[in-house]
Structures are given as structure tokens and as C-alpha cells.
């Protein structure tokens, strides 16, 4: 039998790769992980974590305003953006070292450099021009994704979320192209920081794929806060103009701004890592094809996380890593369940959602819809014109709650709990039998009694 250097070599030390590696090592496998950038990957270094820190930071703008409604005399406030970015980076450094320690503590060897698959059992690692090869019984690709920008004249002037998290100075005006997770989250951050924000979307509304009432509510609330949403518009070109840029739309409108940011999706990192030569098949969109055990078309090569473009969410990649390690190195086959994966958007206000949108549920059968729109109690004193929306989608035949959606403060925190109920197959009667916690927004989910009159959602 061939003697391999390792049982597993993982390429890519993001959330999925790190979890898969350290769990495999904890089950006794000899594991190495190759990373050419920082340990922690997109979520920790360029995504969820720094973004959420900036969301927290930006929230104080509303908090200072709202405090006045509760008798506080708030003096002059101003954001020291460079300090926020510096402190955020210090925290990322700390997290990077924590990730490194977790790998070390679990006996995972960290190979710093760029990993390339040579064949089904060999990985080449290039560090500062020097190349070294290692062999492994199994190879795991978890190289994540990278912002994808369309081919538009002048697009080289645009930044992506990577650079937006590192801006040394706040722009006065920013144009954000795209209406997905990243666009609405950064629109919220910049808007709260006093930047004039314009979002350009080619569709009629933001957040395609989300429940229509969620989309409408968030768009309304964002517009109330001053974000300009340019619907059904396409960027024709971006030109440098003085210190800023002119964004010319096909609709013959020009928007002047200091920064242009693209948030038009992310593509899997599958280029130049030897996959095609090794025989690993990709989808038309460049994602790695795998079966339910994360096995690619080469039996000893596996892939998970964003590079497979199933559901591009950190907790999904982490759970995939757990399933992979258990199946491959713990004699405990686990298959990832992609049903009812909850999601949050850290927009302002936030979104929490789990299960089917009304439109998706209607495709499967008849539904009962319960919905509540209200002004949160806090704003009775702040005077802020802000509304929350909560919605339950119930399968009429079984009376199971198949969708639970919220736009409003703390929605992600609230929906995490309701996701357990949905996963457990809770019925509307069981929601009704649950006593509310008063006074909260969350109690609305267990006190909604009036069905909406039958209506066909306009999708
Ligand atoms: P999304 O897929 O969420 O959104 C992409 C947006 O870009 C859509 O509005 C889409 O429009 C638009 N778009 C795509 N191509 C073009 C084009 N050629 N011209 C103009 N507009 C275009 O991608 P994001 O980049 O926002 O985020 C990537 C992924 O990262 C998300 O899907 C999500 O899985 C993950 N993420 C998760 C977060 C969280 O959990 N809170 C936070 C941030 C990211 P249309 O609707 O018309 O297709």
C-alpha cells in the first residue's frame, strides 16, 4: 500500500476547510491545510465578521438619534472611520491567530502557500516561488469564491466588498451595483455613516429569491432612510470624472459619485488550481461538481463550501465540513440536509428568514398566509417612521409552517429560534399554543390569528 504524507490535504482555510480539517484530525487523521492568504477565509477576513462589525458601528447613528426620544441629550457625534477600520483589523488579526491555534491544537499542519492539485493524490504548494509536493490519501478543495464583476466599460474603476471593508476614507457618494445580500448590507452601512447611497438594480426589486413581502418591506425601509434604489437600470459605462466617477446608465441617466462598488455575485475559486488536468469536472458556472458526499468526479478528491456554489453561506460550509469529516474519518456517514436553511441579511433593518417564500410554497400547494406589519414599540417615543414585517407561510393541507420571515430589528436572532420549530415540522396550531414573551416583537409569531384573505402573490 502507498505511503502517503497525509490522510487529508485541504486546499483553502476558510470556514468549511478549517472545520473539515480540524474535525478530521480530531478523529485521528493526519491532516495538512494549504492557504495562500489568511487563515479564516472569506467569512472571517473579508465577509461576515468585518461586515458585521461595520454594521454594529454604523448603527450608532440611529441609536444617537433615537436616544433623544428617551430624554437623552446627545452632544455632537461624528464617526472616526479610520479608527473603526483599524480596530476592526486588530480584531481580525486576533481571530486569525485563534484559527491558527485551533488548527495547531488539533494537530493540523498549516502549509503556507498556493496549493495546486497535481493528481488525485498529490498537491503542489508554492511558497515564494519555491514549489514542494505532498501526497495524501484524500484531497479536499475548499477554496471558496471571489467577487464576480460583469464586463462593463470602466468596471476596473469599481471596488468590491473586499476593498469596501478597507476604505481609508468614507466617500461622500457611492453607487452600488447589484441588489443582493452584499449590496443591501453595504448600502445600510454607508447610508448610516452619512454617505449618499444609490443602488442600481437590473430587476424590479432588490433581493431576488426572497419572499416578495420581505423584498418590498426592506426596499421601503431603505428608501425611507434615504437610499436611492434605481430599478430596472443597467450600467453602460463608468468614467473617471474629476476626483470621482460618472456612472452612465443605459437608460440615459448619469450618476456622479466618489466610489463605485460592484456586488453582483461571487464566483467559485476554481481557476489555476489544477482541477481540470486532474479530471475534476466543473459546472457551466465554474463550480466543482460533487455528489452528496462531496466527492468530485475524481474519487479521492472532495469539495465543499462556496467553491461548490450550493448555498453560499458560512454555516452551510461548516456543516458540510462536519459531515465530510464524520463520513471520511469517523466511520459515521452523514449527509448534509439543505432543507430549511435559515438565512439573515444584515441590512438596516435586518432580515431573518427560514423555509419557503410565499411564491415557492404556492408552487407546492395551497397555503394560508399570516402577516403582521407594525411600528416597533421603541419608535412610539423616537418618532422614527420605521416598520417591521413578520410573515408565516402555512401549508393548508398539513397546517405545517413552511416559511417564517421577518424584516425588523433583531430578525436574525429571532428567526434562528423559529428555524428549530420549522425543522421540527411545527404546525400553526403548535405556534398558537406557544405562549408569547411580552412585550417583544417575536411574540407576534405566536399570536397571529387572522389569515390574510386569499390572494395570489404578484411574483
Ligand atoms: P447575490 O447573488 O446575493 O446578488 C447578486 C446581485 O447582483 C443580484 O441583485 C443580481 O441581480 C445582481 N447581478 C448579477 N449579475 C449582474 C450583472 N451582470 N449586472 C447587474 N446586476 C447583476 O450576490 P452577492 O454578491 O450580494 O453575495 C454573494 C453571496 O454571498 C450571496 O449569494 C450570499 O450567499 C453570500 N452572502 C451572505 C451574507 C449573509 O449571509 N448575510 C452576506 C453577504 C453575502 P438579479 O437579482 O437581477 O439577478
- Grid cell for residue 14: 476558510
**For ligand 1, atom 47: residue with the closest CA:** 203
State how far the Cα of 219 lies from the Cα of 197, in Å rounded to an integer. Answer: 13
State how far the Cα of 113 lies from the Cα of 135, in Å rounded to an integer. Answer: 16
134 and 9 in contact (C-beta within 8 Å)? Answer: yes
Q: Which of 45, 160, 178, 186 to mutate to test ligand 1, by most ligand atoms within 8 A of the CB atom?
A: 178
Give strand pairing partners of 135: 122
Residue 265 alpha carbon to ligand 1 centre in Å: 4
Choosing from 110, 157, 438, 455, which is the catalytic residue?
A: 438
Residues 196-235: b if buried by 16+ CB within 10 A, e if exposed: bbbbbbbeebbbeebbbbbbbbbbebbeebebbbbeebeb
Q: Which of 264, 344, 348 to mutate to test ligand 1, by most ligand atoms within 8 A of the CB atom?
A: 264
All residues at 6 or more sequence positions from 322 whose CB lies less than 8 Å from its CB, including other chains? 19, 20, 23, 334
Residue 368 alpha carbon to ligand 1 centre in Å: 30
Rounded to 10°, the helix 81-105/15-26 angle is: 20
Q: How confident is the prediction along the chain (459 residues), in pLDDT tens digits per residue?
A: 579 999 999 999 999 999 999 999 999 999 999 999 999 999 999 999 999 999 999 999 999 999 999 999 999 999 999 999 999 999 999 999 999 999 999 999 999 999 999 999 999 999 999 999 999 999 999 999 999 999 999 999 999 999 999 999 999 999 999 999 999 999 999 999 999 999 999 999 999 999 999 999 999 999 999 999 999 999 999 999 999 999 999 999 999 999 999 999 999 999 999 999 999 999 999 999 999 999 999 999 999 999 999 999 999 999 999 999 999 999 999 999 999 999 999 999 999 999 999 999 999 999 999 999 999 999 999 999 999 999 999 999 999 999 999 999 999 999 999 999 999 999 999 999 999 999 999 999 999 999 999 765 444
**For ligand 1, atom 9: residue with the closest CA:** 179
- Grid cell for residue 366: 395551497
- Using a cut of 0.95, tell me whether the model's pTM lies above it: yes
Task: Examine the residue annotation and report whether 121 is marked as an active-site residue of this protein.
Answer: no
**For ligand 1, atom 23: residue with the closest CA:** 265
pLDDT of residue 459: 40
Strand pairing category for 259-262 and 173-177 = parallel
State how far the Cα of 77 lies from the Cα of 10, in Å rounded to an integer. Answer: 47
Q: Is the CB of 235 under 6 A from ligand 1?
A: no
Strand pairing category for 401-407 and 266-268 = unpaired
**For ligand 1, atom 15: residue with the closest CA:** 264
374 and 444 in contact (C-beta within 8 Å)? Answer: yes
**For ligand 1, atom 25: residue with the closest CA:** 265
Q: Is the CB of 406 under 6 A from ligand 1?
A: no
State how far the Cα of 205 lies from the Cα of 209, in Å rounded to an integer. Answer: 10
42 and 17 in contact (C-beta within 8 Å)? Answer: no
Q: Is the CB of 188 under 6 A from ligand 1?
A: no
Strand pairing category for 343-345 and 130-141 = unpaired
State how far the Cα of 117 lies from the Cα of 49, in Å rounded to an integer. Answer: 30
Q: How far apart are the first and last CA of the chain?
A: 59
State how far the Cα of 443 lies from the Cα of 213, in Å rounded to an integer. Answer: 19
341 and 313 in contact (C-beta within 8 Å)? Answer: yes
- Grid cell for residue 80: 472616526
Residue 206 alpha carbon to ligand 1 centre in Å: 10
What domains appear along the chain, each with residue ranges and CATH number?
6-147+267-329 (3.50.50.60), 155-263 (3.50.50.60), 343-446 (3.30.390.30)
Q: Is the CB of 312 under 6 A from ligand 1?
A: yes
Give strand pairing partners of 260: 175
**CA distances for 157 relative to 143, 154, 166, 237, 249, angstroms:** 26, 6, 16, 10, 16
State how far the Cα of 277 lies from the Cα of 266, in Å rounded to an integer. Answer: 24
Q: Which atom of ligand 1 approaches the CA of 184 most closely?
A: 26
Residue 92 alpha carbon to ligand 1 centre in Å: 24
Q: Is the CB of 346 under 6 A from ligand 1?
A: yes
Q: Which atom of ligand 1 approaches the CA of 183 most closely?
A: 26
Q: Which of 19, 167, 45, 176 is closest to 106 using CA atoms?
A: 19
State how far the Cα of 186 lies from the Cα of 215, in Å rounded to an integer. Answer: 16
Residue 37 three-state SS: coil
Tell whether the torsion through CA atoms of 39, 41, 261 and 198 is positive or negative.
negative
What is the full DSSP assignment across 368-422? EEEEEEE--THHHHH-----EEEEEEEETTT-BEEEEEEESTTHHHHHHHHHHHH
Q: Is the CB of 187 under 6 A from ligand 1?
A: no
Amino acid at each position: 500500500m502507498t505511503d502517503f504524507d497525509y490522510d487529508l490535504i485541504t486546499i483553502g482555510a476558510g470556514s468549511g476547510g478549517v472545520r473539515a480539517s480540524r474535525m478530521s484530525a480530531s478523529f485521528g487523521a493526519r491532516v495538512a491545510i494549504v492557504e495562500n492568504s489568511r487563515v479564516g477565509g472569506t467569512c472571517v477576513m473579508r465577509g461576515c465578521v468585518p461586515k458585521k462589525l461595520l454594521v454594529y458601528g454604523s448603527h450608532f447613528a440611529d441609536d444617537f438619534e433615537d436616544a433623544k426620544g428617551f430624554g437623552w441629550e446627545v452632544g455632537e457625534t461624528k464617526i472616526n472611520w479610520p479608527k473603526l477600520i483599524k480596530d476592526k483589523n486588530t480584531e481580525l488579526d486576533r481571530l486569525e491567530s485563534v484559527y491558527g491555534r485551533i488548527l495547531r491544537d488539533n494537530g493540523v499542519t498549516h502549509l503556507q502557500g498556493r496549493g495546486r492539485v497535481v493528481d488525485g493524490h498529490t498537491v503542489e504548494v508554492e511558497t515564494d516561488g519555491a514549489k514542494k509536493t505532498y501526497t495524501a490519501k484524500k484531497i479536499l478543495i475548499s477554496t471558496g469564491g471571489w467577487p464576480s464583476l460583469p464586463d462593463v466599460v470602466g468596471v476596473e474603476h469599481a471596488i468590491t466588498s473586499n476593498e469596501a471593508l478597507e476604505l481609508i476614507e468614507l466617500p461622500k457618494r457611492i453607487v452600488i451595483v447589484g441588489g443582493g445580500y452584499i449590496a443591501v448590507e453595504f448600502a445600510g452601512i454607508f447610508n448610516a455613516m452619512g454617505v449618499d447611497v444609490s443602488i442600481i438594480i437590473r430587476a424590479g426589486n432588490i433581493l431576488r429569491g426572497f419572499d416578495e413581502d420581505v423584498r418590498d418591506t426592506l426596499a421601503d425601509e431603505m428608501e425611507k432612510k434615504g437610499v436611492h434604489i434605481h430599478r430596472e437600470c443597467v450600467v453602460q459605462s463608468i468614467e473617471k470624472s474629476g476626483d470621482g466617477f460618472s456612472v452612465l446608465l443605459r437608460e440615459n441617466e448619469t450618476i456622479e459619485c466618489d466610489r463605485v462598488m460592484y456586488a453582483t455575485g461571487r464566483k467559485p475559486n476554481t481557476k489555476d488550481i489544477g482541477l481540470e488536468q486532474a479530471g475534476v469536472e466543473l459546472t457551466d458556472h465554474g463550480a466543482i461538481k460533487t455528489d452528496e458526499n462531496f466527492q468530485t468526479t475524481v474519487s479521492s478528491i472532495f469539495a465543499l463550501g462556496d467553491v461548490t456554489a450550493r448555498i453560499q453561506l458560512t454555516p452551510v460550509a461548516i456543516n458540510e465540513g462536519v459531515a465530510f469529516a464524520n463520513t471520511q474519518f469517523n466511520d459515521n456517514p452523514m449527509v448534509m440536509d439543505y432543507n430549511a436553511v435559515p438565512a439573515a441579511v444584515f441590512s438596516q433593518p435586518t432580515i431573518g428568514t427560514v423555509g419557503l417564500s410565499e411564491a415557492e410554497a404556492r408552487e407546492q400547494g395551497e397555503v394560508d398566509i399570516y402577516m403582521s406589519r407594525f411600528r416597533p414599540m421603541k419608535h412610539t417615543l423616537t418618532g422614527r417612521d420605521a416598520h417591521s414585517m413578520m410573515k408565516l407561510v402555512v401549508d393548508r393541507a398539513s397546517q405545517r409552517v413552511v416559511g417564517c420571515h421577518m424584516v425588523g430589528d433583531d430578525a436574525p436572532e429571532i428567526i434562528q429560534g423559529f428555524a428549530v420549530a420549522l425543522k421540527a415540522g411545527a404546525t400553526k396550531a403548535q405556534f398558537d399554543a406557544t405562549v408569547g414573551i411580552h412585550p417583544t416583537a417575536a411574540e407576534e409569531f405566536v399570536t397571529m390569528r387572522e389569515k390574510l384573505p386569499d390572494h395570489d402573490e404578484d411574483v
